[in-house]
Structure 1
């Protein structure tokens, strides 16, 4: 048995950095001598990853946005593959970021390095034909949602449901009073959380829109307080430049470093960009309005490929429009503000939604990092 495996990990954004950090900790609990190399953000580096390249370069979204950064992304991928072939890790684990990581995985698998992909792409939503290619690129897919493994197994691949880490780390019972107390806010004060995204490219598109909606809510509820968590120093700098200028400088808003769950739990309602954050809001048992806006060209390229009626994870997992989705042309400040105010003024509807979110939480709750660690160590030939 390999007692000191070299494990290569690659996470392309903030959510992947968090997953990767928990995975490293779970691997270390089982195999203390394990070593870690690859690409990761501050959380993964804090628990022992030697990051070879800047993660922020990979954290872009959308066809047009990616094209602008394509030369740098290609250069990093080429250099990473070369370095992995030189280091010869016992396993390569791509964490989310499938467009980048699966290309790396394919090259390394061809070189004889075992490959895992942690977080299935949304093949159930769009571009389902990707399943057949993914099973050729990755030896196993570690899935966060229970409906995903069957898709890979039907294509002759290996996949397992490991649960969703947010469901394991967040409490089943959300304590709003405690969250308000920690933030120094009275629980009787109307509170709204704004989650425009973890990437700079998302901040550029979504933050001005969300701040305009917040201003409209503030006009209706002058005593309202707004909370805006941020993921990285790069996103903080972009947000700070917006908030120190007119017309947003008067808005009663707190910027919170990495406190998404705390902000959501304290909030009466949340305005959130479509993505993993929508699930975090659901697991905090808070009502939300989901929005998303990308460049018109990117939207034209992707809209016909979407095969499900919803884009927000809570709606997808519940199989119905449990929370409103205001996307692209519907992503207007007036509509967003009206939807937030509707939740604030509808306590009975909120209570029913919270029951649905609690059941969803139970369904997704497993020791995700431990399940994923077992799969990684098995692939590396180091399972205790």
Structure 2
């Protein structure tokens, strides 16, 4: 009997990175299922592709234990309302994009009612709370992973999965032109420059911003000609960073040469000689752009004391996880201080041209290898994976059953 064509897809993305993935996936799925309609929770990019967003995507953009607890009642109600709506109206397929704390629970409710579920971006079950895999198995019919090392746990637990690569690897050239990036930002070609990226969330900026600024003062004293660029995710983060900078200037009586720009983080990284950044997806971008990088992260003390007991890994930067090597230094929680950040940047700079050092040559070779591995045309690969999986697992046409 023929497999029913997908006509209606429910889809939920939790933040800007999910909106990018969702938009690319919807674009490719529309080519395979031109009559399909999409609805759920998505940002402006997904909406441009025709996805009707039933709630603002920003509602799901919550990080850290305390902020989540504050919004928990509203999030639970939203999830229950979506589950009730889709159980009643029966879409052919649900796709949850990242946001695992929200989407896995929603997927479990929908799968229990016979709705096929796909989860795009593996939860970090390989890193912490490994017993979540049992809930995932109850909730997810198909897992789309971004990285090869994520597949093992799904294969061991007999959960259908594909590694689709990463859209960032597709979009980023194998060699990022530093001079071209600097010209676009009106920056002097010969200046030695560090890109500061203390995070896109208020909590990240609050905890990392002061250390990054203090590190900039230390570097400026040691390397008087050094300059800094800091791409700001939005106006609120820029205002927050400027306030932190003003406090530091009042303390030191001088101003480090920090150029703040609106967005353009990828261009800023390409323009820099070195990067100091908050841990997260941006560490993948640093790898793809191939710049010496120092990774840092802090969360609230309460969150950290809880999370560290649940961790099964001791490294967080994506390049380190991919290679299973300490390619990039990581300064987490109490280790993340201005002095330690300064020391790690100095280690990258060294006493000679960084690009000629053996350490950097080895790191750059690993970066290039993984860039090539992850370049799979992810949007197309993800849509192809869903189509292939659906052809073997999709709901049989009720018309055919009735006619039989």
TM-score (normalizing by structure 1): 0.91
- Superposed displacement of residue 128, structure 1: 1.9
The answer for the alignment partner of 1:359 in structure 2 is 369
Quote the Cα distance in structure 2 between the aligned partners of 1:296 and 1:340: 26
1:5-37 per-position Cα deviation (integer Å, ceiling 9, x unaligned): 222221112221221122122223434443221
Quote the Cα distance in structure 2 between the aligned partners of 1:272 and 1:230: 12
Contact 1:135–1:158 (CA<8 Å) still a contact in 2? no
Q: 1:157 to 1:3 in 2, by over 3 A?
A: closer
Contact 2:195–2:230 (CA<8 Å) still a contact in 1? yes
- Superposed displacement of residue 107, structure 1: 1.1
1:106-149 per-position Cα deviation (integer Å, ceiling 9, x unaligned): 11112222110001112222222222221210111001111222
The answer for the alignment partner of 2:110 in structure 1 is 108
Residues 90-169 of structure 1 aligned to structure 2 (within 5 Å): 90-169=92-171
Using the TM superposition, name which of 206-215 and 318-327 deviates more: 206-215
1:194 is matched with which residue: 193, 196, 210? 196
1:332 equivalent to 2:342? Answer no
Contact 1:195–1:272 (CA<8 Å) still a contact in 2? yes
Contact 1:168–1:368 (CA<8 Å) still a contact in 2? yes
Contact 1:91–1:379 (CA<8 Å) still a contact in 2? no
Residues 1-384 of structure 1 aligned to structure 2 (within 5 Å): 5-243=7-245, 247=249, 250-345=255-350, 347=354, 348=357, 349-377=359-387, 379=390
- Superposed displacement of residue 2, structure 1: 6.3
Instruction: Point out the structure with max Rg over C-alpha.
Output: 2
Q: 1:48 to 1:335 in 2, by over 3 A?
A: same
Quote the Cα distance in structure 1 between the aligned partners of 2:314 and 2:47: 38
- Superposed displacement of residue 323, structure 1: 1.2
| Unpaired runs of at least 5, structure 1 | none
1:54-96 per-position Cα deviation (integer Å, ceiling 9, x unaligned): 2223222222331122222223222322333354322111111
Q: 1:22 to 1:231 in 2, by over 3 A?
A: farther
Q: Secondary structure at the match of 2:55?
A: coil
Quote the Cα distance in structure 2 between the aligned partners of 1:8 and 1:234: 32
Quote the Cα distance in structure 1 between the aligned partners of 2:291 and 2:76: 40
Using the TM superposition, name which of 39-48 and 148-157 deviates more: 39-48
Q: 1:109 to 1:285 in 2, by over 3 A?
A: same
Quote the Cα distance in structure 2 between the aligned partners of 1:379 and 1:256: 44
Q: 1:245 to 1:319 in 2, by over 3 A?
A: same
Using the TM superposition, name which of 221-230 and 358-367 deviates more: 221-230
1:305-347 per-position Cα deviation (integer Å, ceiling 9, x unaligned): 2222311111111112111111100111111122123213351
Quote the Cα distance in structure 1 between the aligned partners of 2:256 and 2:59: 31
The answer for the alignment partner of 2:399 in structure 1 is none
1:261-295 per-position Cα deviation (integer Å, ceiling 9, x unaligned): 21111111111111111111111111111111011
Q: 1:182 to 1:133 in 2, by over 3 A?
A: same
Contact 1:59–1:199 (CA<8 Å) still a contact in 2? no
Q: 1:252 to 1:27 in 2, by over 3 A?
A: farther
Using the TM superposition, name which of 282-291 and 1-10 deviates more: 1-10
1:338-364 per-position Cα deviation (integer Å, ceiling 9, x unaligned): 212321335113333212210111122
Contact 1:13–1:199 (CA<8 Å) still a contact in 2? no
The answer for the alignment partner of 2:398 in structure 1 is none
Q: 1:50 to 1:214 in 2, by over 3 A?
A: farther
Q: 1:19 to 1:157 in 2, by over 3 A?
A: same
Quote the Cα distance in structure 2 between the aligned partners of 1:134 and 1:372: 19
